Every structure is written in C-alpha cells, then in structure tokens.
Amino acid sequence: MEKLPVIKDDQLVEKIGQGKVVLFFTAGWCPDCRFIKPAMPEIEGDFADYTFYTVDRDENIDLAAELNVFGIPSFIVYDHGKEIGRLVNKDRKTKEQVEDFLRNLK
C-alpha cells in the first residue's frame, strides 16, 4: 500500500481520478489504527480491483479536515474521482467490518 506524501486537495484529485481508490487515514500513535494495520494486506488482496493509499492524518491534517475526517482509522472510497462511500469515525474497526463496508459499496 502506497503512503501518500503531504498532499493538497488538487493533487489528491489526480490520485483518485483513475479507477477505484481507498484512502486509509491513520496515524502512528493511534492504537486502533495499529489494530487494523496487520489486516490491511489481506484486505487489499481481497479487493484487488481497488488501489489502496495510506494517508497519515497528522501529516495531512488540512486534507483530513477538508474531507471531514476527524476520527481514525477511517476509510474513504472513490470511483473515478467520485466518492462512493466512507467509514469515518473514531471506533476500532475489524477486518470483517472493513470488508463488509467495501463489499456493500455500489
């Protein structure tokens, strides 16, 4: 999973404009982020039609605020630049919860 550098909104549009993209908002200090992180390679493998990017919330605090991401770990999904779903809150997430969320996207 590629980690996005500090990125501005207009640069993000380039990243999410092609295909299906999952942004995984996280931070190194976040225990709930560390809880889901080991499952992410398997989730990526199960949803190979998506491109996954890690977004460090602290490095990209302005972007997180623009996207209304105030709790982590959180996921925002795009299809050719259009947001199609979000799992954005401060709750701990299990592999099953993330996969159910992705499976139920239209």
d(CA 86, CA 30): 19
What is the pTM for the complete model shown?
A: 0.91
Q: What are the tens digits of pLDDT across the range 13-36? A: 888 888 999 999 999 999 999 999
Which residues are catalytic, by number?
30, 33
Q: What are the tens digits of pLDDT across the range 34-81? A: 999 999 999 999 999 999 999 999 999 999 999 999 899 999 999 999
d(CA 39, CA 70): 22
Neighbours of 35 (CB within 10 A): 14
d(CA 93, CA 96): 8
Q: Which domains does the chain have, with CATH numbers?
A: 2-103 (3.40.30.10)
